[in-house]
Chain A
Amino acid sequence: MRGLGALRHEAVRLMTRWRYWVAGLVMLMFGVGSMLARASDLVIGAGTAGPVPYSGSMLWLTEIDNAGVYFLAWPLIIGGTLAEDLESGLASLLITRAGSRWRWFAAKLGAAYLSSTALLIVLAAVWLLAAVLIAPWDPTHAGSVVPWGRDLASSAPVLLGFGVVLILGLAAAATSTSTMLLAALGAGRTVSQVGATVAYLAFMFALPGPINPGERVAVLNVFAEWATPLTTFAYWVGVFGLTATATYVLLRVRENQ
């Protein structure tokens, strides 16, 4: 299967980067530290008669939702591969192997999603273990920490948490794909990575709520009507699709110039 081979090559390439592991370790420690710091706090939320201590499930869901804040780091962690390919000639080598440009490009997009989601799943799993060790799991009041999905948080917190992870993986792939767009415009590896991060930082300040990326990485901790996990999922699908399409078109235009 040629497509799978190209996907495997790109995924291994991303997942064996040292910064992928360093970033994972840093996120892991921040997450566990954050849960430890929060464990002694009390929380007042809907459905509770009064302040209640954080349960393991509440700690975990809070941490999962907070992981969205790392979206600015993904261009630095898994971005820059297209610029590398174009600078080194690896693009030619991989395209002639993959058989078509589209297959090669799709492998890059797929690898971006797989590698980011895989890291987030591992982090979520380790945080889950840590949360169980830090406090009793008891999901009875888990809904009190998430404005969206209270019932699901209480009845199936693990399902809800990993569902959020899949959306955050999409956000990570979308933001890292913007490094490809910059590379297609002629930016080198470092410029494309830093440029994408700076651009998203600027978008956080400049764009209105529904299209603000900062608002769209808080999947559960939302209050506006437009901010539901479904619209957030659609938002990142749109960003991912538009960025990828623009990149591919630019590559073809550049190639034919």
Chain B
Amino acid sequence: MNETIFDTTTSVPERSKVAGPLIDVRGVGKIYGSTTVLEDVAMTVRPGEVVGLVGPNGAGKTTLIRILSGMSRPSRGEGTVLGRDITATTGRVPFMGLMVERPMFIETLNARRNLELLFSIRGVVDGSTACDVLERVGLDPSERKAVRTYSLGMRQRLSLAQAIGERPALVVLDEPTNGLDPLGIVEMRGLVRELADRDGMGVLLTSHLLAEVEAVCDRVVLMHGGRARRVYAPGDADSRSTMVLEVAEPSDIERAACITALEVIGREGPLRMRVKVHECVPDVIRALVGAGVGIEAIYRDGNGLERAYMEAVGE
């Protein structure tokens, strides 16, 4: 891995020019005593990419994040995170933006003072950055109220601010939408995409909100029982070609199944089915109309991750 990634004074756009993934690990496992909590996990995160990590409680997400952030050594496996060998025994930990699930700040200070103190530890940004980043996450930099009076949603925003304020190459967000209202969730989604698309940061996030993960991530690693069961890519051709077809009558289902432009992959009640389309959507619609299928609706399957998740967890 190129050493320039360690240069914390380098701006993100310059750093993101560095070739190679920010996270590149293979065969990662962790054993506590006789209990295997993580087994054979491989993962990559590249600059400008948002990768999700989903799975039920106990799937190994937190253990994996602890290993990736240098807080724990893997029992097996290899790879690098920001150029640091994850098996290294040294105490050196690479800087990454971290947003932990239970954000904790100095309760008696306001948001700006908290950020200034955290930023002063590495000393790579000045105090004015605190104001800028607070505005960016939707908090008022001139707010004098102590953090102890903040709602969970405001704490989440502040936690995100401390994670991104120093413009790290890699940001790890643990449950970033936890406690946010619907508007906050939408804003958080936009902000995460912006970090990747505009700032070139690599983002690894965990969440239980599958629809949100699907909306914001380029790839999603589905974990269960300590293993990465599957990697789902919401934007890939396979996912995009999966659609839901709703028809007027039950007999339309049979007629639609005979069309070569699509393939039925699942029925959901008498008037709805999931199909894989083999041609562009207008051509598929023409074929359906030509076959006399009464189309009520046809739309892209927005629950692909949910299905993939259920399959992965059910395995």
Contact = CB atoms under 8 A, between A and B. Distances in A.
Contacts of B104: 84, 88-90
B109 A255 contact: no
Interface of A: 1-2, 4-6, 8-9, 12-13, 16-18, 84, 87-102, 255-257
16 contacts: A5-B117, A6-B121, A12-B109, A16-B106, A17-B108, A18-B108, A88-B104, A89-B104, A92-B71, A96-B93, A96-B94, A98-B121, A99-B122, A100-B92, A255-B72, A257-B32
A89 B121 contact: no
Interface in B50-108: 66, 69-73, 91-96, 98, 100-104, 106-108
B120 interface: yes
A2 B100 contact: no
Contacts of A92: 66, 69, 71, 98, 100
B127 interface: no
Contacts of A18: 108
Nearest to A254: B72
A97 B95 contact: yes
A140 B123 CA distance: 52
Nearest to B104: A88
A201 B109 CA distance: 34
A89 B102 contact: yes
Q: Interface residues of A: mostly helix, strand, loop or mixed?
A: helix
Contacts of A4: 120
Contacts of A87: 102
Closest 9 CB pairs of A and B: A89-B100, A5-B121, A5-B120, A88-B104, A16-B108, A97-B121, A100-B91, A101-B91, A90-B104
Interface centre among B66, B70, B93, B96 (most CB of A within 10 A): B93
A5 B119 CA distance: 8
Given A16-B108, A93-B100, A9 B32 contact: no
B174 interface: yes
Nearest to A255: B72
A23 to B, nearest CB: 15
Contacts of A102: 91
Contacts of A100: 91-93
Interface residues of B, number: 32
Given A89-B104, A101-B93, A96 B72 contact: no
B91 A12 contact: no
A96 B117 contact: no
Interface centre among B72, B101, B121, B174 (most CB of A within 10 A): B121
Given A9-B120, A96-B98, 13 more contacts: A2-B123, A5-B122, A9-B118, A12-B109, A89-B98, A89-B100, A89-B174, A90-B104, A93-B162, A96-B69, A97-B122, A256-B73, A257-B32
Nearest to B95: A96
B102 A88 contact: yes
A96 to B, nearest CB: 5
A6 B95 CA distance: 14
Contact of A90 (B100, B109, B122): B100
Nearest to A1: B123
Interface in B116-138: 117-118, 120-123
Contacts of B101: 89
Contacts of B122: 2, 5, 97, 99
Nearest to B69: A92
Contacts of A13: 106
Interface centre among B91, B94, B102, B123 (most CB of A within 10 A): B91
B98 A99 contact: no
B283 to A, nearest CB: 51
Contacts of B70: 95-96
Contacts of B92: 99-100
